[in-house]
Structure 1
Amino acid sequence: MASFFEEIWNSIFTPGTTPTLLIATNVTFAALQVVLFALLLATYSIHFVILSVLCGGLWSAINWFASELQKEQAKAAEQKAKEDAIARQTADDSDETEVESAESKIRSPIAPVSASNEVEVVEPAGELKQRLDTSPGYKSGVSTEDEWEKVSENETEKDK
């Protein structure tokens, strides 16, 4: 019994559904249905019938989802096995080394480029100035005038 709870705890951190988690889910929903039936017999309230129907619908939806998820995981595993088999077969059939085949894959989409003697002139977007700081030994790089003004405004706001 302790191993069952340990498996449930570990299944929380495992992606997807695990058989232990599905068993725990089904036992929990069955217990809830028993409690709702007992409350229905004790009170004869329609509310417990409605809750039982909702519980049954949720229970069946969870089981349906888990089965569909398992089907998709099986398909994905089968597809991966096929791709691995094809990759192994093509690797065995080729006489090239891995480096040669990688180089050919890299070169194949690259088209030859023709060189041009024309030079495109790019105009600067803004005026650049040196930033000066009053602290000794500090000289920053080049920046635009607008950025320096923003920094100056922030410093004056902090001083207030």
Structure 2
Amino acid sequence: MASFVQNLWESIFTPGPTPTLLVATNVTFACLQVVLLVLLIATYSIHLVILSCLCAGLWWSINWFAAELKMAQEKEEREMARAQQRASQHVTEDSETEVETVVSKDKPKTGSKEVEPIQQAGELKQRVDRSPETKSAVSTEDEWEKVSENEKEKDK
């Protein structure tokens, strides 16, 4: 019992669901279901049925998530093993660099992720400034001067 408690304490700080943590979770939910059943028998309250359903759903979802996480970790471990196996096959004595080249001789299909250059349809033209004033004449400073002149004329 002492080793279980110690393993449970250590599993709290271990990422992912550990077997000890899953056992503790399942025992806790089973005890909660028993308590809810006893209270249901004692009180005949619909609230306890609803709480029991919520508890069962949460219990199932936690176990489902732990199983999915375990499958994902196993898949990742298999992929890592494959990658290491491929790396050991491709490493040469002169170089530790892996290079895999895939050359496709077929034309890319429609909707491919390859980038194709787009040809321009016409020439690019510069816009012509038709105002006789220079570009600096249209600055904000000149606009503020015009505003201040208009305000002076209104005051007169």
Question: Paired residue for 2:86?
Answer: 86
Question: Paired residue for 1:70?
Answer: 70
Question: Paired residue for 1:55?
Answer: 55
**SS of match in other structure, 1:25:** helix
The alpha carbon displacement at 1:90 in A equals 1.1
Question: Paired residue for 1:149?
Answer: none
- Separation in 2, partners of 1:30, 1:97: 58
Question: Paired residue for 2:45?
Answer: 45
**Aligned-partner residue type, residue 24 of structure 2:** A
Question: Paired residue for 2:17?
Answer: 17
**Aligned-partner residue type, residue 94 of structure 2:** E
**SS of match in other structure, 1:96:** coil
What number of residue pairs does the alignment pair up? 99
- Separation in 1, partners of 2:78, 2:19: 20
Q: Deviations over 1:100-122 (max 9, x none)?
A: x59x9xxxxxxxxxxxxxxxxxx
Q: Which of the two has greater strand per residue?
A: 1
**Aligned-partner residue type, residue 21 of structure 1:** L
Q: Deviations over 1:36-88 (max 9, x none)?
A: 00000011111100000000000000000000000000000000000011111
- Separation in 1, partners of 2:41, 2:3: 36
Task: Select 1:96's aligned residue among 85, 94, 98.
Answer: 94
- Separation in 2, partners of 1:21, 1:89: 40
TM-score, L = length of structure 1: 0.59
- Separation in 1, partners of 2:73, 2:28: 25
The alpha carbon displacement at 1:89 in A equals 1.2
Query: What is the percentage of aligned positions where both structures have the same residue?
Result: 59
**Aligned-partner residue type, residue 63 of structure 2:** N
TM-score, L = length of structure 2: 0.61
- Separation in 2, partners of 1:78, 1:95: 26
Question: Paired residue for 2:109?
Answer: none
- Separation in 2, partners of 1:35, 1:88: 57
Q: Deviations over 1:119-140 (max 9, x none)?
A: xxxxxxxxxxxxxxxxxxxxxx
The alpha carbon displacement at 1:97 in A equals 3.8
Residue ranges of structure 1 left out of the alignment (5+ in a row): 105-160
**Cα RMSD (Å):** 1.6
